[in-house]
Structure 1
């Protein structure tokens, strides 16, 4: 079954930036892009117009990809969680310091409860052209350009099964984007040297990507959010809590999703 890349939209510049990230993912992994708008009481009345505008931009950004549009009643977090049952990836624009339907609270909910990997495109408006941003966000917007093509994919590692899963996802992202990969171990719960020794054979075997290990004595939250400020993408693993059916991130992971400057991809174990 074709598991689509699902992206939630609300008509904002941030969510349209997420559409472009999602369209790139769909193109690179040969998947259908499904654009979803959740109709809720405080949302825009023209939900169909929101998804059609987003679809037009996605097709312009990545010509040739298959695009579906869905408008459904319900709260965004619940609608996208349900969509994740059949998705290969769910993407959403994150706006940590703004309101709206598709803000980072929805992203952190999905990171905890989605049935597939979740991409939270923080400050997604950066991925629009200056002209398009001005049209969507209005006058006075300070449009930002995309991050440099050489910026690395950073993945948090600690030797756990969820971190190994995240490492594989991060490797695939770095390989497809032709950028370096940094495996970052932070904190002092386990010695850096021990984690590096575990990763060394994997790093040698995956030599088709410029991959390296980095250790930081900073607390995990500070180290990973700091690394995200210079990363193309930050990848984290969802850690399974034993008494729950589905893996979910701990509160620290949710804080990283909420505060990181870069897009954050949260994987889950299978």
Structure 2
């Protein structure tokens, strides 16, 4: 049996757009959709949530949030198997646990200021850092559709340890479902201490670093499936800035997260952090098995 796609709902408009996106994604994958609501969010956001739903706070009930989200997903995809559940826990713990039996987790973000924004931001970061499955956070100027593709590409960042990359494999699968190419990008930089003012040597350090980037990219995409078009691209610059810039022209940005010895769960690197904070499109953080 296929593992379900899990989406977190809290009744806000961004989370309802996440439900729409997750319903599209579940339909593309041919898997059930599971909607979960961590009821302790009300402790921190009861008033803000009530304003979103235009109801008095005493009428905002967790069961209503889940029920409305399930109905919304079914209206969008009547053939989809959709279930919902209220989880009486903090959202970070509930969603990380849900990820143990999910094909992926989908989370929305909302552009609030103050405490609510900090709490929701911490939820997304914590879940992305510790979940056992890919976590898709809907960022930037995305609409509420996973399909049809707007920009016609899935963007994946290729890191130093490129062999057998779970992020690259995930990007292939997502591109195949959408019928779009994968744009695999390797950013490179020439360290300042390797530059020289000698006219015969000025371009040599940069050329060597670019060649290494090309080799890394080719290694990462060597086993690309025949039914997925792969566009390889090396770009000089900081990887965080490069991927955020390119995200303006992508439907999904895929980045990896690797387990580190001596730490619990996944530790997000600078690239993943930058993508989650600044990407112009949804971001998939994919754990790399040890």
Kindly state the Cα deviation for residue 123 of structure 1 after the two structures are TM-superposed: 4.5
SS in 2 for 1:126: coil
Deviations, residues 8-27 of structure 1 (Å, cap 9, x unaligned): 01111111111122112211
Could you say which residue in structure 2 is the equivalent of 1:51?
66
Distance 1:57 1:66 in 2: 13
Could you say which residue in structure 2 is the equivalent of 1:174?
175
Could you say which residue in structure 1 is the equivalent of 2:215?
197
Could you say which residue in structure 1 is the equivalent of 2:243?
224
Distance 1:228 1:206 in 2: 23
SS in 2 for 1:255: helix
Q: 1:171 to 1:16 in 2, by over 3 A?
A: same
Distance 1:194 1:251 in 2: 21
Q: 1:102 to 1:69 in 2, by over 3 A?
A: farther
TM-score, normalization by structure 1: 0.84
Kindly state the Cα deviation for residue 236 of structure 1 after the two structures are TM-superposed: 0.4
What does residue range 114-193 of structure 1 map to in structure 2 within 5 Å? 114-123=131-140, 126-127=143-144, 149-161=150-162, 164-188=165-189, 191-193=209-211
Identify unmatched segments of 5+ residues in structure 2: 50-59, 191-207
The yes-or-no answer on 1:238 pairing with 2:257 is: yes
Could you say which residue in structure 1 is the equivalent of 2:104?
89
What does residue range 7-26 of structure 1 map to in structure 2 within 5 Å? 7-26=7-26
Distance 1:162 1:245 in 2: 24
Q: 1:56 to 1:101 in 2, by over 3 A?
A: farther
Deviations, residues 112-162 of structure 1 (Å, cap 9, x unaligned): 11121100011487217xxxxxxxxxxxxxxxx988534311000024158
Deviations, residues 41-98 of structure 1 (Å, cap 9, x unaligned): 1345311111111111111222211111011112222211121121111110023555
Q: 1:234 to 1:187 in 2, by over 3 A?
A: same
Distance 2:210 2:232 in 1: 9
Q: Rg larger in 1 or in 2?
A: 2
SS in 1 for 2:166: helix
Could you say which residue in structure 1 is the equivalent of 2:56?
none
Deviations, residues 193-243 of structure 1 (Å, cap 9, x unaligned): 323334437357434223111122221111111111211000000022122
The alignment covers a number of residue pairs equal to 254
SS in 1 for 2:180: coil
Kindly state the Cα deviation for residue 32 of structure 1 after the two structures are TM-superposed: 1.3
TM-score, normalization by structure 2: 0.78
Could you say which residue in structure 1 is the equivalent of 2:27?
27
Distance 2:122 2:284 in 1: 15
Distance 2:36 2:229 in 1: 36
Could you say which residue in structure 2 is the equivalent of 1:206?
225
Could you say which residue in structure 1 is the equivalent of 2:196?
none
